[in-house]
Structure 1
Amino acid sequence: MNAQRSGFFAAVIMAGFAANLVLGGCGSPAGGNPAVNEAPVSVVAALSKKHADPKLKTYTFPDGHISFAYPASWTVRTVLPPAGIPGVEAIVTDDAGNDLLSLGNGFTSGCAGGPVSRRVLDQAAVPGMTAPDGTEPVFGFAAESYGNGNDVAYVMGLTDPRSLEEGEHVASWCNLVPTGNGGLSTRVVFTDPGFRNGGVARAWMATEQYVQLKALLVSLTYA
């Protein structure tokens, strides 16, 4: 198993930075995602229908404002930044000890990034989250390509609706959404490049892990 990850606070809020670590287990073919079941989409979809809804727990950030529901077999650990730096990071880990998702709360930095070509694979409303200016952040899963289009990064988390604009020369993904207590960043932890191709990415969308991660992100609530 490989659950290593780079320092979150050292790389916080860099656009498109979600494609550099490990999601899921070990031993996948080179360039693949260890968590992805590479069976045909129709087969994976049929299997996913058999999964029972897991029992859920609730995690609430220390200041009491932001909460989310997650499978009871997973764990959440809290990491504080170096002294003098605001924010708290919650890292969600599966029952095998693999880091799946990072959520950072209380940041004041913004996003920076260049133009990309984007293909949106999935999106959904997040009814429990509303930015101070009234904007409603959304859940998204997308593929972005840079330069000559051969380098593809997969991003998944909450974002401003503008980060789900499809097409060429659009602004790169921003994983920071403003909140009343400073801001929330969310990133699912992928390998690089994450998936060998779009078909493998779509197959993963039919698995239990994808369904659970999406449900967790959509459950985010600000009180």
Structure 2
Amino acid sequence: MRPAHRAATSMALTAVAALTLTGCMASVSSEGAASPAPMASAPASPSLTSETRTPSPAAAGERPVPPGFSADSLVTFTFPDGRLSFQYPRGWHAELFEASASPFVGTATVSDPTSQAKISIYTGEIADVVASTVDRTVIETDPVLGLRGHSVPTPHSSFFVDRTDGAATYRMGLTAGLPVSPDGEVQHGLIMLGNRVLSADVVFAGQPFANDEAAKEWYWGVEGQTLKAVLMSFTYR
């Protein structure tokens, strides 16, 4: 197990990538009850940018509905603190692996109906720092309204590509504010909710897209928009 360090505002958003979890299982139902399983995955932090496209957000208080689903076909997953929650389509499933109860450290994995892991969500008071230097092109980023006012800057659901030495790495997940700032600098920093760290990242196996056009086609398709709806559904109370 890698040494764990207390989360700090200077740490990068890639907490989960460095975390090997060991501990007790717990489960969470649509009302916040529990159910087991491990998982962890997160992106490395970067350093230069390109174009950002941001469509108008949904009305305040609304949770987006994934394509092909209705609002009453969504399941709500609530973490053990009773404050942080998100939604996913019925037929998918979410499992929580709790590595530590005090301080709390846990990873929730959202899987599709075929049991393939699609999103890894880490929350806890412990995280490791991983950083790298890359050029970043943002495909789309949107503020997560359910986290507005609970974390500064407002967390965003972002889809982007990081390039290092000509190699492209596609990433999608929650970012601390915009993935890039107005002056063109890449944002560093953790999503902080009270004294806890939050990261949520789409799980891509290997090199998922041949090029940016293929990535955009996937993102604007049913799966990409379903995963975006899950990320956009986060709330904290």
Q: What TM-score, normalized to structure 2?
A: 0.66
| Contact persistence 1:140–1:159 (CA under 8 A) | yes
Return the alpha-carbon distance in structure 1 between the equivalents of residues 17 and 178 of structure 2: 27
Return the alpha-carbon distance in structure 1 between the equivalents of residues 230 and 221 of structure 2: 15
- The answer to whether structure 1 residue 126 and structure 2 residue 157 are counterparts is no
Residues 70 and 165 of structure 1: CA distance in aligned 2, closer, same or farther (over 3 Å): same
- The answer to whether structure 1 residue 215 and structure 2 residue 233 are counterparts is no
User: Counterpart in 2 of 1:15?
Assistant: 44
Return the alpha-carbon distance in structure 1 between the equivalents of residues 75 and 151 of structure 2: 30
User: Counterpart in 1 of 2:76?
Assistant: 58
Return the alpha-carbon distance in structure 1 between the equivalents of residues 204 and 181 of structure 2: 21
| Contact persistence 1:14–1:111 (CA under 8 A) | no
Aligned ranges for residues 1-223 of structure 1 at < 5 Å? 9-10=19-20, 15=44, 52-54=68-70, 55-81=73-99, 86-109=104-127, 111-130=129-148, 134-146=152-164, 148=165, 150-165=166-181, 170-171=185-186, 176-223=190-237
RMSD of aligned residue pairs (Cα, Å): 3.0
Residue 9 of structure 1 aligns with an amino acid whose one-letter code is: L
What is the total number of aligned residue pairs between the two structures?
181
1:208 CA drift (Å):
1.2
1:79 CA drift (Å):
0.7
| Contact persistence 1:90–1:104 (CA under 8 A) | yes
Using the aligned pairs only, state the percent identity.
28
1:196 CA drift (Å):
1.2
* 5+ long unaligned stretches in structure 2: 1-15, 21-39, 47-66
Return the alpha-carbon distance in structure 1 between the equivalents of residues 151 and 218 of structure 2: 34
Residues 85 and 63 of structure 1: CA distance in aligned 2, closer, same or farther (over 3 Å): closer
| Contact persistence 1:58–1:68 (CA under 8 A) | yes
Residues 132 and 97 of structure 1: CA distance in aligned 2, closer, same or farther (over 3 Å): closer
| Contact persistence 1:88–1:104 (CA under 8 A) | yes
